[in-house]
């Protein structure tokens, strides 16, 4: 096999090895980071109050480059989130810096509301020129056209999301729709898919990824909102699994495993696998404040305090103490993809054991 074919495989293998290692012994730096680059959002979602937040301080693109460089190549997976990431004029610069500073980066992902398809296409083209190993973009979609527009406070939201998907797919980007199931849209699985198929005849259920409403005081600021009941969570997860069918590739397998374990989370309120927060992954707010994840409000310090060297915060005594609380299940508990996916990878050989939805 040619060397050019082997190098990308080495990145994937290293990501898996780092995830498995984090499940056995805590590394000196995380292999995955979820980084919110802004709170600014031009849509007003009913299940999320990020759009109500003041913009506040944000790390500059140059400071984010320092963060990536300061991990000394430990990161294999970065989720850039917001707010609406494309609202930052320098967002592409932040993403490109990650690709340039992290030679082992296997996954670069960001979500978007897709409200500006032309700008999103321009951003994707700029990032692709840096030659990322894998660029994944999730386009938020909450229901068929009228419902999606009502939930997001934007009547044109559905059309923008579809056009953004089309433009990204035309570029070869691994784009998919991301649907957060909540009391606002819990009965709209089939109507949402049918509305998408009218515009996208080739769409498969596997192109529509699902997660579930969670509360967070320091991220969503939606701690007073009502969520789904445990029984309803299990019912919805089972319905999505039935529609998707058996997985056909590693990405589909990971989501299948995630959905299969929703029932365990619904019953216990705790992570359905040993959580890797502060063992393999963490969350960074726009001002550089580090938290265990985007659900647990436990600030561990600001990156500006340590010259943007994340490993220094990562190895503080207070961070190790917070990690111990996660390990003992004394955190709020969640089953969001940002934390669940790395935890599933870290579970290793036990991944395929039977778990009901």
pLDDT of 171 over the 70 cut: yes
Provide the pairing of β-strand 77-81 with 290-291. Answer: unpaired
For residue 241, the tally of other CB atoms under 10 A from its CB is 19
Indicate if the pLDDT at residue 53 is higher than 60.
Answer: yes
Q: What percent of the chain has pLDDT over 70?
A: 95
Residue 37 has pLDDT above 90, yes or no: yes
Cβ within 8 Å of residue 205, ≥6 positions away: 193, 240, 243, 244, 245
pLDDT of residue 8: 64
pLDDT tens digit string along 70-121?
999 999 999 999 999 999 999 999 999 999 999 999 999 999 999 999 999 9
Local structure of 283: helix, strand or coil: strand
HSE on the CB side for 173, CA within 13 Å? Answer: 30
**Is the pLDDT reported for residue 3 higher than 80?**
no
The per-residue pLDDT for range 11-25, each reduced to its tens digit, is 999 999 999 999 999
DSSP 3-state of 84: coil
Half-sphere exposure of 267 (CA within 13 A, CB side): 9
Residue with tokens 């990878």: 345
pLDDT of residue 340: 97
Mean pLDDT of the 225-230 span: 94
Q: Which of 95, 104, 165 is nearest to 137 (CA)?
A: 165
- What is the structure's pLDDT at 9? 79
Would you say residue 149 has pLDDT above 60? yes
User: CA–CA separation, 158 vs 145, rounded Å?
Assistant: 5
């Amino acid at each position: 096999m040619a060397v050019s074919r082997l190098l990308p495989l080495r990145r994937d293998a290293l990501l898996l090895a780092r995830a498995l290692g984090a499940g056995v012994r805590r590394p000196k730096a995380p292999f995955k980071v979820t980084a919110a680059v802004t709170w600014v959002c031009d849509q007003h979602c009913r299940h999320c109050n990020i759009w109500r937040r003041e913009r506040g301080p944000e790390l500059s693109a140059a400071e984010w480059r320092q963060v990536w460089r300061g991990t000394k190549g430990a990161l294999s997976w970065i989720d850039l989130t917001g707010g609406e990431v494309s609202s930052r004029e320098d967002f592409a610069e932040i993403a490109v810096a990650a690709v340039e500073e992290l030679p082992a980066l296997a996954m670069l992902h960001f979500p978007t509301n897709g409200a500006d398809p032309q700008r999103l296409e321009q951003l994707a083209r700029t990032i692709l020129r840096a030659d990322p190993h894998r660029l994944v973009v999730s386009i938020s979609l909450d229901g068929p056209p009228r419902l999606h527009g009502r939930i997001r406070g934007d009547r044109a939201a559905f059309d923008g999301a579809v056009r953004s998907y089309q433009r990204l797919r035309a570029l070869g980007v691994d784009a998919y729709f991301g649907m957060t199931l909540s009391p606002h849209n819990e009965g709209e699985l089939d109507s949402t898919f049918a509305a998408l198929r009218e515009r996208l005849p080739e769409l498969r259920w596997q192109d529509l990824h699902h997660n579930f409403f969670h509360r967070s005081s320091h991220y969503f600021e939606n701690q007073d909102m009502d969520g789904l009941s445990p029984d309803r969570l299990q019912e919805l997860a089972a319905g999505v699994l039935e529609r998707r069918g058996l997985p056909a590739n590693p990405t589909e397998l990971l989501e299948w495993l995630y959905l299969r374990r929703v029932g365990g989370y619904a019953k216990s309120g705790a992570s359905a696998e040993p959580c890797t927060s502060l063992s393999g992954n963490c969350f960074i707010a726009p001002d550089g404040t580090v938290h265990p994840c985007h659900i647990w409000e436990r600030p561990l310090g600001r990156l500006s305090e340590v010259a943007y060297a994340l490993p220094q915060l990562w190895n503080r005594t207070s961070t190790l103490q917070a990690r111990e609380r996660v390990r003992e299940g004394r955190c709020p508990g969640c089953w969001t993809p940002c934390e669940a996916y790395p935890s599933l990878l870290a579970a290793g050989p036990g991944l395929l054991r039977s778990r009901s939805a």
